[in-house]
Structure 1
Amino acid sequence: MKLVMQVRLLPTPAQASALERTIQACNEAASWAAEVACAKEVYRNFDLRRHTYAEVKARWGLGAQAAQHVIKKAADACTSMRAKLRAGRRRGSDSRGRLQASGKPPTFRSDAAQPYDDRMLSWQIEARTVSIWTTSGRLKGVSIAAGVEQFATLASHRQGESDLLYRDGGWYLLAPCEVPEAVLNAEPADFLGVDLGIVNIATTSDGQIMAGRRLNRLRRRDRALRGKLQRKGTKSAKRRARRRRRKESRRSRDINHKIAKHIVAEAERTGRGIGLEDLTGIRERVRLRKPQRVTLHSWAFAQLGEFIAYKARRAGVPVVHVDPAYTSLTCSRCGHVDKANRASQARFACRSCGFVDHADRNGSRNIRARAQMLWRSGAPSPAPAVPHQRDGRTRAVRHSQ
């Protein structure tokens, strides 16, 4: 299983200045190489090198390895642009997006990530430092910071190129690691059903409720503050908004990590699998009033599901995704389905047998029952692969079960 470890660099002011000049030069060179590729209609990496390699090295002062990575980055961007153009033809030759895309070659932000291979970057894990190439020469002894577990994973499983990234005033290295998976528990004793929601982030079939009231309250406060800063529009307001722009997503990631870790640990301890709802496309299916749309679209259910999936793979815990239809309206005791069973957001009262329970806990038990049936039948999990995304510590690439 591939994970990407995010390691923070702690450069001195002089080292940070050298890194800034390096990443700006690499991205300027990549933008120029993309212009050449589109002008000469040369999109293959090795063909593009013939037209750009010498100029990139001489004009921006890049080393041989850095020049090759810059050209490859430009070639990959052009290939991606052409693929989008081909897809745009299905919408007609007058497509606005197609005309805009075909009007100019791809460009790179001055702080876009730059790949580094082992010739340009060496790790000293025990010393907690790295040696990294820059246009001003090689920087040795640049301090790095990460967790103990992250350093242990880097020391034993790091593979391939790392990306140098500047974000929100900090420097980071994104290092891919090939981590072996645990042996899958092919005969789980039972399943732990997990109902994902907005008011309650996750509710398990064991009856544990991870409430989201504090998170939702903080989201409302952040949303109100963003609106206030946008309305003010001064330089100081914009500066403050930039500093806070990822605070909400970092908080949400941290909470999702903690919840996922707890759920997987409980399933592993008891020898059970995990049952989740397949919520793909729920934002398109659900119709809500305008005040509720922001709450729905800020719900990071896909991220939590992905975190549970990759942590479960590392622990050997099977994960089954079930059809979510009517799980909140079905009685987990008698199976009666009725819209009136859902007395309120938090209360479930069966109109047939009189069973009363917390609504989310009742739904999680239905998920658990469906996961058991799906596992015993041998049918594949219906959930599609979720695109990998980076969190504050690791990024996982999820494969189908």
Structure 2
Amino acid sequence: MNKVIEFDEAQSTLYCEAGCILETLQNHTKDLGYMMPLDLGAKGSCQIGGNLATNAGGIKFIKQGSMHSNCVGLKVVLADGTIIDQMDPHVTLPIGYDLKQLFIGAEGTLGFITECAIFCPPYPKNRQVALLASNDYEQIMKCLQISKKELSSQLSAVEFMDWESASIAMDYLSLENPLSDEYKYYILIEMSGNSQEELLQEQMLELLEKLEDHYEDGLMCESETQKDQIWHIREGISMAASGYGLAFKFDISLESKDFEDIILKTQERVNHLGGRVLGHGHIGDGNLHLNTVMKGFKDMDTAKQIKEALQPFVFDYIKEKNGSVSAEHGIGLLKTDYLGHSKSSEMIGYMGMLKKVFDPKGILNPYKVLPDHAFKPGTD
């Protein structure tokens, strides 16, 4: 289940089994001059089948989109053993229902993904990275808006970190602050393409000139080592949080303008309990990783208080803002009761109908995604 089947250069498409580690696929395609459209901090451990099952977006979403956008073929085994094969590497079938899309994001509740075909664009020859900081979140939003407008298709990533997130990662990784001081909020901007490196540098400098009234400190990376260091900070946050102590992690989707508000409101609820709130994520598409950590792993009484302070508060906030209680980590077992915060009763009803069609006995990932009232195994 972890083999690369082939890479079709004529179609820029990778064919592989679902158990392949994402980083392995990234290295494989890079060696051929192509890139996986997905990149995650957990790339060294996550599997492409799981990425598909949760419709992962990751740090390249702003340019490459989610797995719905990049998966061009699937092989799926249904509960009764039926195999749905949409993996023909040389045939495009633009007719009828695109069944593979039903299984992407379904978290294994409709069928078991065994193979996939992923469209892989050419690997960009050059990239440029800038890190900007401000104590005013509105200015971070201005940087986002202007960057999207000015860089357009060359904008390959735009990421958000607050100071708590950046500092916990720097401490964990033993990295120095790349800027001269501490600021409340940071935005990481990456542009990439096949233009000469000097041209990308000029374009980034032009962007920074247009942004100069909207950040208090910043840098444009001068070497690949410096670019990697900035990315290590961003990608090291999740691991640093888990190493710090007990972590309460929320992967949510809402308008980027609301990131600061929910971070501050969460701090009000848990800071007095010793909770440390970390806000970071994909600001370009509204995916916020809202994590609260407490020092150590033994104080279960405090952990209980923090959990009660966070839940259902975070989910209720998301419902009020018409957001999603999960962005790319899935609903799983723990969030089924909150699916209704993001999906209408009609939508949940149709999801239950699909479950009955593909898995009437409920043997595939039972009790996941759907609340109990939406699906009863073996019932009409």
TM-score by length of 2: 0.27
The structure with more radius of gyration: 1
* Larger proportion of helix: 1
Greater RCO (CA < 8 Å, at least 6 residues apart): 1
TM-score by length of 1: 0.26
